[in-house]
Chain A
């Protein structure tokens, strides 16, 4: 290591003398005063410090710890947990290439190879001048509909399908510039291959949550208000909080984060007694193949704010948190801007619309940890602790953030709320074929389809096949479908012969899987399922928090065995071991992540056992149909 060349730009002092500027110290001191508890400021403060220094060496960690008022070790423990915080020098422009599903087989690996060649560094390496570093990340970054993609600092560069674009990217990077985001139009993902012959859609539907598609620019307050924005809030404020809860309960709105629990019911669990209560909106959208909350926040920011205001009013919350995954910097900035607009118009802040109701919304960004999507881990993260799931009971509604009653809802769930208040529970129930789980649902469609994207449809109105054919414009290159992962990589794969199942909770369950957050990753026939499963387990191994034994040890063990299969070093009896270990993890872990981690193994073995056996035949390893041994030729 050359300590001089690894110094961040502008830093001329030697390593031991590193300290924070007055501006950063002041900013940290403000963070400490911002939240109900000082410790919440620890993570934002570490990020502020890293923004200035480039990484977090011991002297800086200690300085931040002292400013926030925690032990030095506490700052270090947080830093080492989150993948976006670095204790070692990191390229000033760190180029992170997603190789998780679907990016991996949609050009991500090809892109990584091209960047290696173009930048002259291997993954994990930093250029001599400390400016550029290249990273292969098994962690999805929410750009699946625009894959392949990279993240460079706070910026996403997406749709890097053309060699010319990659070359241009390399040139920009080598000149020390961060290229601006490319290809942000949702319905314009793979225009060259769009299937012009797609037949007439099976249903006609006017979107409610994403009414302005295709669009990537933020909807202003004026524009939102012009389409009856914040009228739902006005309606709510004229009612008693209990009435609002009852309406939402009556609407049968079920949580869109994956668990599908009745939102109104969840709100009704919050004790009515006085005292602080919190609404926390889960925008830690980290499930591979999921990118709906990102679009909602970037475009329909005010819809989310209005929903948060109504939910807060209903449960008696005066201070709400929007917890975004650390990578969603753009969405976070837009949400902060929208909050500013709304506060200026008296739609947030003190005495909202003259009703006496007040609400402060904090936008809080994580720092790279899938586990924060688990609601109790998210609360731990907000409290400045290592984000590890809590054991339940107590449930957050009784003892959540700072041990106070807390409702945690997904972004999409909350975005439904203004419409329910505006149009009524009965109107909402009529959306879709099933009153019991009604309403609009955004399907994130990604993978080997011609037109991946967010498609809002009535919950359960279409089947897998219809979604892929009519909204996804069919398969790329006319490929056959091997299977579809319906809830990101966390639910069992649905094989090609079951794709006529309806896309609602019951329909997908009937096909042996779960709808979850409805993030459909379409895997083409020629992709090796062994490699796909290995890649998925790489994700779970990388993202396991390590709190409970079966997940911490089991995910690594499963991944190690799968790696052997991928490399052709397995025995048929190892399949039984994989299934047995999955059984030892599933149902014995502390949180759902551990259960999720086993379905890529069990379901792929169930449906594609011959492929596993083929991989170990003569030690040939996992091969795609074309005989390739990795995905660098694809996409």
Chain B
């Protein structure tokens, strides 16, 4: 065990040169005096990481194509008279690279000085301060002085690109990460570079808003404080944030996130890369629209004051909702559930709550109807892993537009299309139209007919020309993916056709993906753990009382009295009898099951007070109260 401290056995200068590599797919090189062997085609900047050396970057990002724009990663390579950018240089056998030589350091100093020449250096008021690559690289690789005596470029400092993103044009260093993300990863070119030379800036078509389902990722990609979130702007400093790993509740994709909270209030949610689920991206719906209302910090704006969510139980007394105790609120809820009543639960509850609902609450309230809102049951449970998707060669989407329903799934399908997969979409909407081999654009109620025609084209060859052309794209070999919209799957004949088509394409869960995906955040968990409730349909006619569990919006007024368990602000409607505060999924520990059946843990990222129960706790409180009612009745 004596060589534990140096497990490679290499000891620097005395080591003889290693023999040429046996494997032609490997390349040996030296970086900053350290010899190492890496896969052929590795970029020097990545090889340096493996060698334990950091080469500073701005424009380089492992998920984007290298452009060599910022020049921060200049290194000296033996036998090369010019400094080279490590981000665009693939390793080669025998390469000797140096990022700490006087020449390389002078290159790094030069780039930092040039970048800062027109940068406002307003770090004290910048959101990015404290987590800013420009700041970090300046400290590590800059000279700490400026020779610029000319006036800096003055530009717009708070340009609203959209209602989500604000651009500080002075801070931007033109690394093109954001514009490359929109054109390479998303493919919509919604954000572009404008003008040229020193006047270059990023922007959109004059006067148009930066609209893309994935725009928020550009905030995270930005290596300076140029792209900022409207919600997070000026709300905190990075070092004051508590970071908690969690899972997005926006849809059933199950994208991994990190919740950033200050004093218990969740101020932002960022991506936490899971290469098997989200590839490091989040959609805007998840990023911006799923956070619980900010309360712990107090009211910052009038709009937020309105959003104020209840943190203690409320009971209708003398015509208005007034604070009460949990016991009284539970008692009133139990009374409300007497007679012809319903319990409607959100499919965004945790698995633990689902189980409590099915096995704990439902048996105690048998006269009430139980159901999910929205309805979550899918008759064709999805098979297959997300990791299969980039290799799919045949992809059929039936009435299902992942671009809007499961946005991050769309990015995976885009990857497949770019790898040579043929995507055929049938239906009214197709956000992946740029990447589609064919789009049979028909109204949703005609998806069945077109599916039948597509199947016929593949089997008998009898079909209209456009359908035959689309079918031609699906005759290649390789893994297949077929996804049917769960709402359409309720139509048994369409379901049958879809399953036949999947069989015809050879789709299976081992190499591809097939089924009607559950769409709501924990809809699959609901179906698996609360099957009776998930498959039940609730008749709303003539109900006298309804308990809403975790549902964001009130059901339409119907004469029924409402008990509302929520983590959001509620409309003070006259039919609301009881309000039970509940923790948001981001404030509780639990698990979610994503649309492929993968279970993932949520941890409490925010804190709103000890007295607010989680969804699971609330359900068990209700169960206890119901038990008492039964006991009392007996």
Contacts and interface: CB of A to CB of B under 8 A. Distances in A.
A74 B204 CA distance: 8
Nearest to A547: B69
Given A70-B189, A549-B69, A557-B150, A61 B197 contact: no
A73 B198 contact: no
Interface in A15-62: 58, 61-62
A73 B178 CA distance: 14
A570 to B, nearest CB: 10
Contact of B198 (A71, A556, A583, A589): A556
Nearest to B193: A77
Nearest to A594: B71
A552 B197 contact: yes
B192 A73 contact: yes
Interface stretch (A427-435, A461-469, A537-545): A537-545
Interface string A574-593: 00010010011101111000
A402 interface: no
A interface bracket (residues with beta carbon within 8 Å of B): 35 or more
B431 to A, nearest CB: 13
A536 interface: no
A84 to B, nearest CB: 13
B97 interface: no
A553 B196 contact: no
A81 to B, nearest CB: 5
A72 B205 contact: yes
Given A553-B114, A561-B150, A590-B69, A545 B207 contact: no
Mostly, the A contact residues are helix
Contact of A369 (B117, B192, B196): B196
B69 A76 contact: no
Contacts of A577: 147
Contacts of B83: 587-588
Interface-centre pick from B81, B114, B174 (highest chain A CB count, 10 A):
B114
B198 A588 contact: no
Nearest to B147: A577
B82 interface: yes
Interface-centre pick from A76, A77, A554, A589 (highest chain B CB count, 10 A):
A77
A87 interface: yes
Contacts of B174: 546-547, 549, 552
B197 A584 contact: no
Given A58-B207, A75-B205, A557-B148, A550 B117 contact: no
Contacts of A67: none
Contact of B205 (A62, A386, A553): A62
A446 B120 CA distance: 43
A74 B66 CA distance: 20
Interface-centre pick from B68, B197, B204 (highest chain A CB count, 10 A):
B197
B111 interface: yes
B189 A588 contact: no
Nearest to B188: A71
Interface string B85-110: 10010000000000000000011001
A351 interface: no
Contacts of B207: 58
A555 interface: yes
A313 B446 CA distance: 52
B121 interface: no
B208 interface: yes
A549 B173 contact: yes
Contacts of A80: 194-196
B200 A552 contact: yes
B198 A584 contact: no
A74 B71 contact: no
Interface string B163-194: 00000000001101000000000001111111
Interface residues of B, number: 47
Given A71-B189, A72-B205, A557-B117, A546 B111 contact: no
Contact of B192 (A77, A553, A589): A77
B355 interface: no
B563 interface: no
B74 interface: yes
Contacts of B191: 73
B70 interface: yes
Given A74-B192, A546-B174, A549-B111, A556 B205 contact: no
Given A549-B114, A550-B110, A76 B205 contact: yes
A350 interface: no
Given A391-B68, A557-B150, A588 B111 contact: yes
Interface in B139-178: 147-148, 150, 173-174, 176
A548 interface: yes
Contacts of B200: 546, 552
Contact of A548 (B70, B82, B106, B196): B70
A543 to B, nearest CB: 7
Contacts of A73: 189-192, 203-205, 208
A369 B200 CA distance: 14
A360 interface: no
Interface in B279-293: none
A81 B195 contact: yes
A541 B196 contact: no
Nearest to A544: B197
A553 B193 contact: no
B627 interface: no
B115 interface: yes
Contact of B204 (A76, A386, A590): A76
A272 to B, nearest CB: 24
B67 interface: yes
Given A552-B174, A557-B150, A584-B110, A386 B197 contact: no
B198 A544 contact: yes
A478 to B, nearest CB: 40
B118 interface: yes
A544 B69 CA distance: 13
Interface string A441-477: 0000000000000000000000000000000000000
B198 A552 contact: yes
Contacts of A76: 192, 194, 203-206
A588 B74 contact: yes
B113 interface: yes
Given A541-B197, A546-B174, A553-B115, A58 B150 contact: no
B150 A560 contact: yes
Interface string A493-511: 0000000000000000000
Nearest to A387: B196
B88 A391 contact: yes
Nearest to B110: A584
Interface string A185-218: 0000000000000000000000000000000000
A555 B113 CA distance: 13
A565 B88 CA distance: 38
A75 to B, nearest CB: 7
A226 to B, nearest CB: 46
Interface in A402-423: none
Interface in A382-402: 386, 391
A210 B176 CA distance: 45
A386 B173 CA distance: 18
B194 A77 contact: yes
Contacts of A81: 194-196
A550 B112 CA distance: 9
Interface string A260-300: 00000000000000000000000000000000000000000
24 contacts: A58-B208, A71-B188, A71-B189, A72-B204, A73-B191, A74-B192, A76-B194, A77-B194, A80-B195, A369-B196, A386-B193, A391-B88, A541-B198, A543-B197, A546-B196, A547-B67, A549-B111, A549-B114, A549-B173, A552-B198, A556-B198, A584-B114, A587-B81, A590-B85
10 closest cross-chain pairs (CB), A and B = A584-B110, A77-B192, A546-B200, A391-B68, A72-B205, A544-B197, A553-B114, A71-B189, A556-B198, A560-B150
Given A58-B206, A76-B203, A76-B206, 6 more contacts: A61-B206, A72-B208, A73-B208, A544-B198, A549-B111, A590-B69
